[in-house]
Each structure stands twice: as C-alpha cells, then as structure tokens.
Amino acid sequence: MAIGVTLDATGSDNQIDASVRLARQAAEAGLRSAWFGQTFGADSPLLAAIVGREVPGLHVGTSAIPVFGRHPLLVSSQAQTAQAATHGRYHLGLALGTKLLTEAGFGIPFTRPVALLREFLTALRQLTENGSADFHGELLTAATPIPARVPGAEGGVPLLVAAMGPQALRVSGELADGILPYLAGPRALEEHIVPAVTAAARAAGRTAPRIVALVHGVVTDDVEAVREKAAGQLAFYEQIPSYARVIELSGGRRAADVAVIGDEKTIAAEVRRYRDAGATEVVFSGTGIAGEADRRRTWALLGELAAGSGH
C-alpha cells in the first residue's frame, strides 16, 4: 500500500522554497507521494508541478480543488501542465467545496453541487485525455475552438474526488479514478464509502477505484495534549455536514476522535486498519502539529511502513 503525506508550508517565509525542502525530506524518508491543499493562497497544481520537478521520483497531488469558481478548461490547463512538468507523476483531486467558502469567497450560490461535479468531471476527462472537448451541459459548457492539449501530458491525468456522501460517491465511481476521503475512519470506509464507490464503478464498467485515505495523525508521546491541539485545529470541519456525517459514521463525536495519534506501534496498527478497510493508499496530514521532532519521527515510521509494503 502506497503511503504519502500532505505538505503545508503556509507559515514559512517562502511557501514554495519551504515546500521543496519538505518534499525532499519526505522522499529521503522513503515516502512516495506529497499532496497539497487548495485554499485561496498558493495555486496547488503549480506548487505540485514545481515540487515534482525539483524532487524527481516523488508523486505529487492536489487535494483538492473545489469545482465552484473554476472551469474545466482552466483546471485542465493547470493539470496538464503539472503532468508534463512531472513526467506523469501528478494526480488531480477535485472537491465539492463548502457553502461557507463558496458564497463568502466567490459570491456565487452553492447550489446543485453534485450535478456540477458530474458535468465538471465529464468535461475535464475529455480535456485531459484528448486535449479537446465539446461538452454542453446544463450548468457549464466546455468547448475547444482551438486545441487545449499540453505536449508531454499524453496519457491523461488521474482524476480523484474528495467524495464521502452517497451522491458524490456515485458520481466519482462512475466518472473518476478514485476518491480522497478525509476524516473518514476505517469503519466509515469499510461499511459505507468503499462499497458505495466500488459498486458505482462496477456498474459503470470501470476498474476498481483508488481509495486514497487522508488521515490526520502523528507519532508522539504527548498524546492527550496533541489530541486537544488537533481538536482546535479540526473543529472547523465539524460545521460542514459531509464531515460531521462521516465522523459520526466512523464512531467519533469530534473530528479529533478520528485523528490517529500515538506511538509507532499505535500508528502502524491504524495504518493496517485503513488498509484492511479498503484504502489503497494512505496519506497523513497534520504531521507537524506536535513539532519538528515528532514530524520527522512520523515520516520515518511511514517510510518504513511504505518500504515494508513494497511501495
């Protein structure tokens, strides 16, 4: 099972330089993928392209670009450019986004998100695979009167979706290559998420989807203090219905309840639980929450686990 980490250098003097440094450390630890979030700051596909170019061999990904306020033509240009820059090591994640950030940030209504996701994925698949599109949907149009192909990005870009709800999982199984569930514990994965997306993919005649589980966790000896800190950092997600639901399905009450915090033995056991629940890949986030020493300790363990699984 492949194991990676998210990289967050937003608190540094130069986010790009710091991200490259962190990526090199991740590769040296034996990790095979580095993922970048997308907010209103750094452009995630561009950041991934730079990091992937600077750190050969490391797979890089975006987790994840909200479909509201974007257009498939523009996202395809970003993704194909990153794919060409990294020689096939870029993975694009999309998300529904949230009502709060969509309406407050873009000033557009957060309506019919699943329908928009379906149209966005349909058009984006045409663009990333063929460099052209002729899509005329109810919510968006994507056509190419001039070519939209980026030389060097042949073969397409893996399309993943941060899907956890039933409707989003159905669309993702039909149209995407996999999913990026976050704060979804092994129970939610095994009993709800993996069966739903796998069934949708099978019904659409597609191969089994990738299940890239994003896990908030760290190796530390100061478990209670770190969990309380995580509770403060993750409280935002408890306001979002899709996250609140998946936390409950995982057996948790707060987001911090599904965080994986403990010593090496504890973390290794939890990684195995995610694998057994159907995760094909595990990506750890929040590994810097307990400080630099524990972050390095976490990455060292994850690198060992990755090596032991043959990835």
Q: Is residue 152 part of a domain?
A: yes
Q: Is residue 297 part of a domain?
A: yes
28 & 137 share domain: yes
- What pLDDT was estimated at residue 1? 76
pLDDT tens per residue, range 178-187: 999 999 999 9
Total-model pTM:
0.96
Q: Is residue 61 part of a domain?
A: yes
- What pLDDT was estimated at residue 311? 47
- What pLDDT was estimated at residue 308? 86
pLDDT tens per residue, range 274-288: 999 999 999 999 999
132 & 190 share domain: no
Structural domain boundaries, residue 110 = 1-161
230 & 262 share domain: yes
Amino acid at 233: Q
The number of folded domains in the chain is 2
260 & 304 share domain: yes
Last residue of a domain, one of 112, 129, 161: 161
Q: Which residues of the chain have pLDDT under 70?
A: 309-311
Say which CATH number the domain at 13 has. 3.20.20.30
Q: Is residue 168 part of a domain?
A: no
Last residue of a domain, one of 131, 161, 191: 161
- What pLDDT was estimated at residue 39? 93
